[in-house]
Amino acid sequence: MGEGAVVVGTRGSPLALAQAREVVAALRTAWPEREFLVRPIRTAGDGLPAPPVHGPGTKGLFVKEIEKELRRGGCDIAVHSLKDLPVEQPEGLAVVSVPRRLDPYDVLVSDEGEELHRLAPGARVGTSSPRRAAMLLNARPDLRVVPLHGNVDTRLRKMREGRCDALVLAAAGLARLGVGGVAFQRLVPPAFLPAPGQGCLGLEVRTGDDDARRIAAALDHPASHAAARAERALLAALGGGCAMPVGAFAGPGEEPETLLLRACVLSPDGGEAVRGEAEGGAADPDGLGARLAAALVDNGAAPLLR
């Protein structure tokens, strides 16, 4: 990449565009002498009315075309929601920057803002995420999970039309879209763990593009990056992807310069759950993730991953 305009690639959904504009605004502050352009890129997942959440060919459903454009030079920096980015990094590309993480947790949204334990018996809760469904059913086996697809506005509209009594969304998505007037309860540990990397953005560049790497690196938040690496390393060691019922969250440990990583592997129906936590040096997040993954497998998680 030369000294011309820096092209930032992204999905074209409202949330993805909001994320890309957030990144570009920060890049313009960090590099006022450079020009930045947002380029929306249509992905395979965008063309499906109800994208599958698991099965063959679903890994990278929302990122493959963006990475293809990045490799061929159609954009210089790709902005991804890190929880949707496969843990296997394609050859020639690298996530070099993770900006400061927003709220990592899920929220339970309903008309009246009911807490989970106060929902009526058999209440219908909308989500298309196997992890969210499993955690809901683990906490409340009586609930009915209703598959619900579409962007945030579409899901909220479906709830208000009576398709479900409540729904689960990412807190960061609501914040980035500036959605107001929504009553919700935050679903927090230990009962609920977010998807690995949830609340984080990942800035991906070509490995040989030193200019793009330098520009993107200006937005890196080391603590957020280390936490996301630990969570994604755990997911990689479990052989998983974003469709697996695996939750993980890393935060500051008790000792300085350490991370505390919590994780949970569940059966799809929420009937079984293997939970664990481990603490380790923030300088080796990959090792911490791999270590906790091995402990979860030793404690019986392997059958739940099949």
**Which pLDDT tens digit goes with each residue over 198-242?**
999 999 999 999 999 999 999 999 999 999 999 999 999 999 776
Q: Would you state the pLDDT for residue 56?
A: 40
**The domain 106-187 is classified under which CATH number: 3.40.640.10, 3.40.50.12780, 3.40.190.10, 1.10.3720.10?**
3.40.190.10
Q: Tell which residue, 132, 139, 141, has the closest CA to residue 171.
A: 132
Six-digit token pair at 158?
Answer: 């479906």
Q: Does domain 6-99+200-220 have CATH number 3.40.190.10?
A: yes
Strands 166-170 and 201-206: unpaired
d(CA 273, CA 247): 11
Rounded to whole angstroms, the Cα distance separating 192 from 135 reads 6
Burial letters 212-237, b for 16+ CB under 10 A, else e = bbebbeebeeeebbbbbbbbbbbbbb
- Measure the CA–CA gap between 250 and 259, rounded to whole angstroms: 6
Across-strand partners of 95? Answer: 204
Is residue 69 within 8 Å of residue 9, measured between CB atoms? yes
| Residue-level pLDDT at 306 | 82
Annotated catalytic sites, by residue?
84
Which superfamily does 234-305 belong to? Porphobilinogen deaminase, C-terminal domain (3.30.160.40)
CATH 3.40.190.10 domain position(s) in the chain: 6-99+200-220, 106-187
Residue intervals of the chain classified under CATH 3.30.160.40 are 234-305
pTM of the model: 0.92
Low-confidence spans in the chain with pLDDT less than 70: 1-2, 45-61, 242
